[in-house]
Chain A
Amino acid sequence: MSGGITILEKPRVSYCGDHGLLLEAEGDLALPTQERIWALNDVVLGWAGVLDTQPGMNSLLVLIQNDEHDPVEYHDRLLRAWSESQSGRRPSKLLEVGVVYGGEGGGDLPDVARYHQVDVAEIVQLHSGAEYTIFAPGTGPGFGYLFGLDPRLFIPRRKVPVMRKVGGTVSIAGAQAILGAPKHPNAADTSPTGWHVIGRAHDVPIPFDIARDPMSIVSLGDRIRFRVERLDR
């Protein structure tokens, strides 16, 4: 079961208000497509009047300096640059993270198993058996959105977000996976999420620190493996 996601036959560009554009790629999530997104990102960042860019899953957000430019100027140019964008392997690092699945830290594991009508051990096996690639930046500095989730683990986001403890969360939603950064000392203990938290990485490294050089320990294209430390039933 891998359905439930709109797959475009052709790429399209829509406007993000009056200061941005969103390019959405054709086809399903795939590494070669995402490599083209990263390549497009590097090209577009060099264009005059571009304030910032952000790769998404199969997409690129482009922000325009709209005091002197208008998003309209970039619509066709973005589609053209996408059609010319090439995929290509980049050097990447592998990060391995130990995970305690289920239990208090991964309380949504039983629900995910029930949704797929299998034992929790099978969910753990499928989730830890894959290698994930950091495809796009996440909702804040961290390990980003991960590609590589086994299609058999596809599960819709929650209809109503729930509060879950932050710090080293191992979560899935839709066809995507994420790994949460350790809790920041100033951050709240819990945060709302529509994702399903199936495990907890207790020794996850701090992914981003402005006082460090480089600030981020991971880059787009780096890979993550989850090692089963324990399964708490």
Chain B
Amino acid sequence: MILKNTIKEYRQKKSLTQEELAFKAGVSRQTIISIERYRYKPSLELAMKIALCLQIKIDVLFYFE
């Protein structure tokens, strides 16, 4: 099972750039890039922050495949 996410999809729906989302979540742009590419698994705290920034439920944003 791989932890995947729909951050890119919802970020684009909100017309946010990676830089803007990174700023809102208080992380670097590289971290957002890594998460979107499934290279880095964020902590629960960061995952919730991103979900909050995108106004999406965390279980919609992150899922197992």
Say if A and B assemble together. no
Interface residues of B (CB under 8 A from A): none
Chain A interface residues toward B at CB < 8 A: none
